[in-house]
Amino acid sequence: MNNTDAALFKDKKMGFLIYLGIEAIMFMVLFMTYTIFTPPTKDPFPADIFEIKTVVLASVFLLSSSVTLFLSDKYLKKERKTPFIIWLVLTFLLAAAFLGVEINEFASYVQQGYTTSSNVFMGAFYVLVGLHAAHVVFGIGWMIILFIHHIRKIPAPLFLSKQTIFSYYWHFVDLIWVLIIIIVYVPYL
Amino acid sequence: MNWSEITVHIPFFGESIFLTIDVFIAWILLIVLVIGAIVYAFRKRKFPVIRDYLYTTNHRKVGTLYMIFGFIFFLRAGLDALFIRLQLALPNNNFMDFQLEKYNETFTSHGTMMIFFAAMPMLIGLMNIAVPLQIGAKDLAFPFLNAVSLWLFVAGGVMFGSAYFLNSSPAIGWTGYAPYSTAVYTPGAATNFYVFGVQISGLGTIFAALNMIVTIVRHRAPGMKLIRMPLFPWASLVTSFLIVIAFTVLAIALYLLMFDRLFGTSFFGGEEGDPVYWQHLFWFFGHPEVYVLALPAFGLFSDIISSFSKKPIFGYPAMVISLALIGFLGFMVWAHHMFTVGLGPMVNTFFAVTTMTIAIPTGIKVFNWIFTMHGGSLKTTTPMLFAIGFIPSFVMGGVTGVMLAVSAADFQLHDTHFVVAHFHYVILASTILGIFAGLYYWYPKITGYQLNETLGKWHFWLFLIGYHMTFLPMHLTGMQGLPRRVYTYGSDEGMTALNFTSTIGASLMGVSIVILVWNIWQTNRQGILVGDDPWDGRTLEWSVASPSPEDTFTPMPFIECTDPFWDAKTKGQKLKTAPNPRPAPIDEHTVLPFLMALAVLVIGFGLIYQSYLTAGIGGVAIFALFIIRSFRDEHTSFHKEGARHE
């Protein structure tokens, strides 16, 4: 990286970390909302609808995607293209698998008649976990764009900066999922 | 004549819109104004300029646009205020159809627009214009994001402003209290306009604050340590942190309210929901918001008072610490808006004490301003007049603030005109006088011209007198029990004279704004260039050309003290130059920010009228624009150019 690239990259990193701080505050308020309204006073209760199997499966997919992305980053810095792309593709697949589990979970709730209007717990659940799922969808789209950038062979320092910002984002989304496990699911499993 | 019976029906999004006669007149006026503006632009060949501003990411130009749009919304919200005052001028009055629901719509629009679409953007505009010039930055850290912030604010403002023209103005108060703001009590588009208008412009505000933080932390000129910064950048930094926290909480509050209104949840209403939760979330945003409005004005007045007293600011460290303290305490006082909710004596006492504590750092600032002037050689220019007028007016608002903080007394004063008087005293004195002072002070940096001083002084005196005439009587009517948000009062209640005085005062302020508009028009028409340093200033912005060029600070100055420009002038030297300044942000010319805001506007309208197809089209458009942006960002083209040069 030359002087300009390095300086602007540092600006971007700081700006994005502040942005993640903003996201953290957003999720904090939603976690607060969830804890205020859960458990609810009427049906459905979280203990009746959460399934340990789904939570474990989703967590395995999403948390391991953080590890694969970390490895992908490592090989990018070493400029070893093949392992880099393999680990990034794996990250993509794990994210898609997580999303599949999430969609399945939401669909099964809706089939059982548990929608946003069922009670205030379901509402708080959907706005929180749904916003997180939206972040995963956004991340998957972002990865597709990264692949295209990689194929187009944009300048190496530029690609490194794009990939680094994405990995900040992805690790943050993972961290939120850990908090979702602890605050949303575990107390009621 | 009964105004409310004259209506026009127009189909819109599957609904029939009733246009009352005042809305109909407003439509005609709007169309005439738009046609007039287009004809003017054609005649004077202004389209290249308009195009340039549409595509710009330069901080001064973006700031100017913030000021222009903010001022337009300010005029609109000011008209609302005049209608409110005309309705309240006499007991049992029937001014046009501004009674009942229409009155509710008018004060809701007035409050919401003044705070979100007039005061905030004009302050952010001044920050955009002045902060980079004061700290020796060539632009904001993220010029593209800056343009996105601007157009998001404009989109939100246009959306909220259009509600009136579709005869569906929200009528829920600027606080949007639940459960009244939920779909049970206010179904339909009106309240949605509040939710989405504020949400969209709030998003822009958050990005603007993020940008400001990175700029101030990373883009200062070499040698410009944080403790050598002028106080306006300091105030902007503290304010930006407040925005980042407070507006994010508001964004989620509105997100939850949106789900309550459109998607069947019941966080704030129904048998399970809790309306008080909305109040907590809203005021956790709302109170820091007051300091978001006040702190930039504090910083601005500090610089102006120091400039026109020909002295460095008295007690600089105390000024910085008190700014930070006010910002910190601002997050611990929100429940003083909720003393009458019934949170219990312990909670009320805690929040009463924290609220009173804020008077201490604020008092420090007031004394330091006075000590700065003490023994200085004062020049009573228009910006300085606004600064001097600010101090006693603001202190009066501060004193009633301490009165209201006494929670027992608040049970009597809550929701009366006393509260209206209090918050207008603090917000007008700090924010609005501050914006005017900043406008006069930095006008040379924006346009190269100086606003006429005689007209400026007329503006100042009329505004100040009108302001005290309007709000001083409200203390008395409030203590006599006149509730706010009620459209009339009886003739036997002994409030007629006081209310009539208020109305006269409001008209005086209106006249003063006409003088300001006339002043701006005349100054620009005459176009007399005044040079780089018309005020004999102290800080860096006066060392660059007027209006500030796109490429400022070449060569980059090296800073060794506070007030570096003054220091160099008194020593008869030029500013020292720094050999290796940091690389500047890459400026670009792009219409993408404008298009992004347009897409968001489409999403907003789709959701307001629950036309999910429209919202979906907007959604696809915004993601397409993200992708285009990703492939054509300024870094890519910068690298391509670099390759070509090699």
Q: Is residue A82 part of a domain?
A: yes
What would the mean pLDDT of B604-622 be, rounded to a whole number?
A: 94
Under 8 Å between Cβ of B246 and B292 = yes
In a domain, A114, yes or no: yes
Integer angstrom CA distances of residue A187 from A52, A104, A173: 12, 22, 21
pTM of the model: 0.95
Counted across chains A and B, CB pairs separated by less than 8 A come out at 103
Which residues in chain B are contacts of A156 at CB distance < 8 A? none
Task: Note down the domain range covering A126.
Answer: 60-189
Alpha helices for B228-274 (secondary structure H)? 231-262
Q: With an 8 Å Cβ cutoff, are A22 and B206 in contact?
A: yes
Q: Are B201 and B150 in contact (CB under 8 A)?
A: no
CATH fold group of domain B46-645: Cytochrome C Oxidase; Chain A (1.20.210)
Q: What is the pLDDT of residue A102?
A: 95
User: What is the rounded CA–CA span in Å between residue B539 and residue B547?
Assistant: 16
Residue A159 within any structural domain of the chain: yes
Nearest to A11 among B218, B245, B643 (CB): B218
Residue of A nearest to B281 (CA): A29
Of the pLDDT bands very low, low, confident and very high (cuts 50, 70, 90), residue A45 is very high
Residue A4 lies in a domain: no
The string of pLDDT tens digits covering residues B440-497 is 999 999 999 999 999 999 999 999 999 999 999 999 999 999 999 999 999 998 899 9
The answer to the question of residue A105 being in a domain is yes
pLDDT tens-digit readout, B411-427: 999 999 999 999 999 99
pLDDT at residue B16, as a whole number: 65
Which CATH number is A75's domain given? Answer: 1.20.120.80
pLDDT, tens digit, 9 for 90 and up, residues B558-588: 999 999 999 999 999 888 998 888 888 988 8
Asked if residue A22 belongs to a domain, the reply is no
Q: How many domains does chain A have?
A: 1
Which of A92, A93, A75 minimizes the C-alpha distance to A84? A75
Give the pLDDT of residue B640. Answer: 67
Q: Tokens 């949400």 sit at which residue?
A: B199
Q: Which of B309, B181, B185, B295 has its CA nearest to residue B236?
A: B295
Q: Which residues in chain A touch residue B142, judged by CB atoms under 8 angstroms apart? A: 11-12, 15
Token output for A34: 């969830």
Residue-wise pLDDT for B76-104, tens only, equals 999 999 999 999 999 998 888 888 889 99
Q: How many Å is the Cα radius of gyration of chain B?
A: 25
Mean pLDDT of the residues in chain B: 93
Nearest residue of A to residue B218, measured between CA atoms = A11
